Amino acid sequence: MQLSCLNILKKLNEENSIRKLSAYLPLLFCLVDVATNTLVKLDEDVKTKWNQVETQYQRRSDLIPNLVSTVKGAAKFGAKHLNCGLLKHVSKASQIKVDPDKLTAENIDKFQNAQGTDRSGFKPPNGSY
């Protein structure tokens, strides 16, 4: 009789563990579902933010050729205007020195001509200046 009672107790214990398992099983499924949804959402957030970073890098790399062409255009503009005689006039004007002890009408005329009052030789391109 003892053996049969032990067997009955074991069976009851097994049935209780199955009931406990069946009670916790839906909770376990909910936890797995929430964890999966959270991980998927976090993965999508990471992908979205990384795409924003790549977009910014692409935008910056697209702007570099525009910047290079702008600098080239400015250099060409500067070279065109500086080589048209402006540098020659500036250097000529800075070479003449006026000595206050030797102020004569002739020296004052030379200085004024060098400073640009006579611009007959200087013709800037496109009518600028």
| pLDDT value of position 129 | 47
- Structure tokens belonging to residue 117: 């009052």
Answer whether residue 108 is part of any domain: no
Task: Give me the average pLDDT of each 10-residue run along the chain (129 residues).
Answer: 62 67 76 87 96 94 90 85 67 67 78 61 53
User: What is the DSSP secondary structure assignment for residue 101, as one 8-state letter?
Assistant: G
Query: Which one-letter amino acid corresponds to residue 49?
Result: K
Query: Residue 114 and residue 91: Cα distance in Å, rounded?
Result: 9
Q: Is 94 among the domain residues?
A: no
Q: pLDDT at position 90, please? A: 67
Position 118 scores a pLDDT of 46
Query: Which backbone phi and psi does 71 adopt, to 5 degrees?
Result: -65, -40
* Residue 29 falls inside a structural domain: yes
Number of domains in the chain: 1
The predicted structure's pLDDT at residue 3? 60
What is the pLDDT, as a whole number, of residue 33?
A: 85
Q: Is residue 106 part of a domain?
A: no
Residue 112 resides in a domain: no
Answer yes or no: is 118 within a domain. Answer: no
pLDDT value of residue 9: 62
Residue 92 lies in a domain: no
Here the contacts of 11-19 (C-beta below 8 Å, separation 24 or greater) are none
Any domain includes 12: yes
The whole domain housing 44 covers: 2-84
pTM: predicted TM-score of the whole model, two decimal places: 0.40
